[in-house]
Amino acid sequence: MKSEILYPGAFPMVRVELAEGEHIKAESGAMVACSPTIDIESKMEGGFLGALSRKFLTGEKFFFQTLRASRGAGEVLLAPTVPGEIIVMELDGVSEYMVQKDGFLAGAAGVVIDSQMQSMSRGLLGGEGFFILKMSGKGMLALNSFGAIHKIELKPGQEYIVDNSHLVAWSTTTTYNIEKATSGWVASFTSGEGFVCRFRGPGVVYIQSRNPGSFGAWVRQFIPVSQ
């Protein structure tokens, strides 16, 4: 399986080459185009209950689509819904990543997707909800963001502060606490940041350069109100 990011920047696509018999799973609706040798199946990853819990708990789609090169080698073009970058990483079987609910684009057959419950404080204040996706296993994993993706590398014990709505993915060797952005409650919210996550290494944190929630609020003011 080979993958390549086309048109890097705001409107990228990822091209995945599949050998005969190989398959990948992708977010439902992510497929843009594919070779005629590719079959598209819809699959409830993790069984019915797993899919149900993913749908209701993380807000992810109920079905993932499986793209299978059943009739010979071929390629697939995948793209996310929102404008923003795509990154492709290789899971090695040991590294695990937590991914916020809209961050998953596609993964190789060996990538395991779980929804996992967060602690109360992270769930309430982290802005990711109580359930997030946990990616483990082995193989290619494509994530997408809203805006550009920035990688923050943390050495053991090194700390970094991230606005909670800018999170895309973070390795499970990191740990984080939710904090007020400033020392005072009022200033915390008037500064526009509210809560932030204080990450502590080692590990990697991927953040997105735009905040989908704020963008939504900004767009809303231009939408004509129908009577």
Partner 1 sequence: MVENTPNALCFGDEFPASGAPCLVHVEDHGLTITFSPDRDGAESRSESLRFSELTVSAGGLDHDQLVATWVGLKGQRTLYLKSPDVIRAFRQAAPDHLSQPLERAAEQVRQVRQRHRMVWGIVGGVLLVVMLGLWFGSDVLVELAVDRIPVEWERKLGESTYRDFLAHQDVMKEGPAVDAVNEMIHRLTGQIPENPYTFEVTVVKSDVVNAFALPGGYIVVFTGLMKKAESGEEVAGVLAHELNHVLQRHGLERIIKQLGFVAVVSIVLGNPPGLGGMMKQLGVELMTLKFGRAQETEADLTGLELLYRAKIDPSGMITFFQRLAEKDEGRVEWLSTHPMSNARAERLKTQLAEMPKQNPEPFTFDWTNVRASQGAPPSTPP
Instruction: Tell me which residues touch partner 1 (CB under 8 A).
Output: 92-96, 98, 119-120, 153-156, 170-176, 201-204
Rounded Cα gap, residues 137 and 90, in angstroms: 10
Q: Give the three-class secondary structure for 109.
A: coil
Which CB atom, from 155 or from 220, has the smaller least distance to partner 1?
155
Q: How far is the CB of 133 from partner 1 (least distance, A)?
A: 13
Q: How far is the CB of 166 from partner 1 (least distance, A)?
A: 18
Q: How far is the CB of 135 from partner 1 (least distance, A)?
A: 13
Cis preceding-peptide flag for 202 (omega within 30 of 0): yes
Which CB atom, from 20 or from 153, has the smaller least distance to partner 1?
153
Q: How far is the CB of 175 from partner 1 (least distance, A)?
A: 5
Which CB atom, from 94 or from 186, has the smaller least distance to partner 1?
94
Q: What sign results for the dihedral spanned by CA atoms 5, 7, 8, 10? A: negative
Q: What sign results for the dihedral spanned by CA atoms 86, 91, 94, 99? A: positive
Q: Let me know how long the chain is.
A: 227
Which CB atom, from 38 or from 140, has the smaller least distance to partner 1?
140
Q: How far is the CB of 227 from partner 1 (least distance, A)?
A: 16
Which CB atom, from 30 or from 204, has the smaller least distance to partner 1?
204
Rounded Cα gap, residues 142 and 128, in angstroms: 19
The angle at the Cα of 107, spanning 104 to 113, to the nearest 5 degrees, equals 70
The angle at the Cα of 157, spanning 94 to 194, to the nearest 5 degrees, equals 100
Which CB atom, from 75 or from 128, has the smaller least distance to partner 1?
128
Rounded Cα gap, residues 10 and 33, in angstroms: 19
Rounded Cα gap, residues 105 and 81, in angstroms: 9
Q: How far is the CB of 155 from partner 1 (least distance, A)?
A: 7
